Amino acid sequence: MADNRAIGVFDSGLGGLTVVSELMREMPEESIVYFGDTGRVPYGTRSRETIKKYASEDEAFLLKNDVKLIIAACGTVSSVASDTSKQLPVPYFEVVSHAAYSAAKTTKNGRIGVLGTAATVKSGKHEKFIKEILPEAEVTACACSLFVSLVEEGWIADDDPVVIETAKRYLKPIVDAGADTVILGCTHFPVLKGAIKNIVGTDVTLVDAGTATANAIKKYLNDNALAADSKSRPHHKFFVSDKPYSFCSTATRLLGKKVNDEDIKQVDLSNL
């Protein structure tokens, strides 16, 4: 039995589109409703109470769109506010545990780096999940909040001097620690994968939370008879709380497909 309702995805801004891209690649028949809270980005510098409030409002919006499953594509929400999922009437997925487990299985020397927002790093959730599988792992976590701003501004070129210098400063502790695996612990960060790779080196494996999460969701949908009909024509909807400058060009780059102004709808969460 198929379920053609959409998958709901939310994030603090545009970064969650990297998860959407992976979902589209793994499950092209699935419809997706995406909400980017661009009016309140970033979440990573907010208090736990504020992050939980925002997450609950984002989830409520997706439920109004009759989604069959909700993904918190935001690493910050996944780290400090995933308990909001307890009130949801649909299955809920976060991105932290899947990325952590993937990194623990990938590393060869047991040294793992974690890149995240300040709130994500402070939570210690990646390290907790990693050590459930690999107790002897050495985890070096770095808060990289400016990466979010760079992506939201569209400053993502590998050779951009601002990107390069910012990445060098953030990544130094991980390079010094000799990590052979690095988790991109915020959905904005895969957009900067080229610049990050140039600094940590080609021998270091980058773990994309979006890829790990998409694989887990595909298995869950198939195992629980929630997958869409293989012959269905998917319909994708994109919502934001405030249209940022260069949204369409950045979204097009993240998704690998053309996104036009008419594809995006701005909504007011206060009207929920």
Residues assigned a catalytic role: 74, 186
- Measured distance CA(22)–CA(32) in Å, rounded: 12
Q: What residue type is 215 in one-letter code? A: N
- Measured distance CA(76)–CA(198) in Å, rounded: 25
Contacts of 159 (CB under 8 A, 6+ apart): none
In DSSP terms, 142 is beta-bridged to: 115
**CA-based nearest residue to 121, from 175, 173, 158, 157:** 173
Contacts of 56 (CB under 8 A, 6+ apart): 84, 87
Residue reference for tokens 């995805």: 9
Compute CA distances 136 → 2, 70, 112, 121, whole Å.
43, 33, 11, 19
